[in-house]
Amino acid sequence: MPVEISIPFENLTVQYGLLREEIHAALDDVALGGKFTMGPFLQRFEQEFAAYTETRYCVGISSGTAALHLALLACGIGPGDEVITVPNTYIATVFAISYTGATPVFADVDPLTYNIDPRQVEAKITPRTKAILPVHLYGHCVEMDELLALARRYHLRVIEDDAHAHGATYHGRKAGSLGDIGCFSFYPTKVMGAYGDGGAATTNDPELYEKLRMLRYMGQRVKYVHEVVGYQQRLCDLQAAILSVKLRHIEEHIAGRIHWAHRYNQLLQGTPVITPVEVGGARHVYYMYTIRAPRRDDLQAYLREQGIGSMVVYPGPVPYQPAYQPMGFKPGDFPVTDAHLKEILCLPMFPELTEEQVQKVCAAIRAFYQ
């Protein structure tokens, strides 16, 4: 008999309960206004999210994957180009590169933060390299100064994958404002999630902004004048209105995540697990609270028996996925990613966790190792 999970890995319904009235009011406003696409709620959210990410412009897009794809296209990336990214990301980061016809090139990650290692990036730059696509994994910003210096030296674009990093900062600067374009996912479980798919791209560059706007809606600046081959990838007004509500609460939600992460750190002291670090002037927003655990698979099974959810994010590095088999990578090609892969485990993390739940998780981990 499967054990009932009493402490889930994530829980979206508790938050819905708390925001219910505000969400209902927002949905009512959209429906009563009768404009469901490219309407005032999308426009308002774009302005609010640009302000939040401290960028000049935001373009609401239908998903994080689409935001990455359009960002690469807006930067003129296509067949024959190379884009450097990481092996330990969600497949969407790399698929977006492949959609453009460019070739993904993988640079291994830093052993402390699990983020792209600028030294590994430099070794991968060729005359065909056009861009770097760093991922602020788990909510901890990449060491951007070094990466941006490399980009300047080699005339490369930097497109951020901010899917884990809403509200994360790097030396006081917001994720999404660090590279040429920031790409966000509002998948429901993200730090700020919609009630369905959603995404956005942020930028300070007016030309990139214009291109992104055209690409996300059928290549038009003026209705029915299609200047380029564009896409039907708008963020709809219902999602935008929900996201405006969520944005009003984002700092509370991030504070909750940080609080629970620090409690986990305290309560796991003296156990054999390695807890996450915060380095390089980063504000980690803990989309995931990821430990490194000896005998990880046994620990995960033990937690499940105790009714505690957990996840391995991501269990299969992208270069080893069947879709990229033709590139010929094999386990061992990315030693840091490979070493982490056997040990990483993400513990329950959402703002509405309780002290009792966090204590229970940590007590179970302690008991496992005793």
Ligand X SMILES: Cc1ncc(COP(=O)(O)O)c(C=O)c1O
Which residues of the shown chain bind ligand X in the complex (CB under 6 A)?
63-65, 89-90, 92-93, 135, 161, 163-164, 185, 187, 197, 199
Least Å distance between CB 73 and ligand X? Answer: 16
CA-to-CA distance for 256 and 163, rounded, in angstroms?
19
**Sequence-distant (≥ 6) Cβ neighbours of residue 32 within 8 angstroms:** none
**Sequence-distant (≥ 6) Cβ neighbours of residue 80 within 8 angstroms:** 101, 102, 128
Q: Which residue has its beta carbon closest to ligand X?
A: 64
CA-to-CA distance for 231 and 239, rounded, in angstroms?
19
Least Å distance between CB 314 and ligand X? Answer: 8
Least Å distance between CB 149 and ligand X? Answer: 24
Q: Which two tokens stand for residue 273?
A: 């697990």
When the beta carbons of 156 and 192 are compared against ligand X, the nearer one is 192
Least Å distance between CB 155 and ligand X? Answer: 25
**Planar angle of CA 48, 284, 56, nearest 5 degrees:** 25
When the beta carbons of 64 and 280 are compared against ligand X, the nearer one is 64
Least Å distance between CB 237 and ligand X? Answer: 18
When the beta carbons of 65 and 113 are compared against ligand X, the nearer one is 65
Least Å distance between CB 50 and ligand X? Answer: 19
When the beta carbons of 175 and 303 are compared against ligand X, the nearer one is 175
Least Å distance between CB 330 and ligand X? Answer: 23
When the beta carbons of 66 and 268 are compared against ligand X, the nearer one is 66
**Planar angle of CA 131, 322, 330, nearest 5 degrees:** 75
When the beta carbons of 114 and 368 are compared against ligand X, the nearer one is 114
Least Å distance between CB 64 and ligand X? Answer: 2
When the beta carbons of 90 and 106 are compared against ligand X, the nearer one is 90
CB contact burial 330-362 (16+ within 10 A = b; e otherwise): eeebbebbbebbebbbbbbbbbebeeebbebbb
- Identify residue 54 by its one-letter amino acid code: E
CA-to-CA distance for 351 and 36, rounded, in angstroms?
30
When the beta carbons of 271 and 337 are compared against ligand X, the nearer one is 337
When the beta carbons of 135 and 240 are compared against ligand X, the nearer one is 135
Least Å distance between CB 21 and ligand X? Answer: 27
Burial class (CB in 10 A: 0-12, 13-18, 19+), 17: exposed
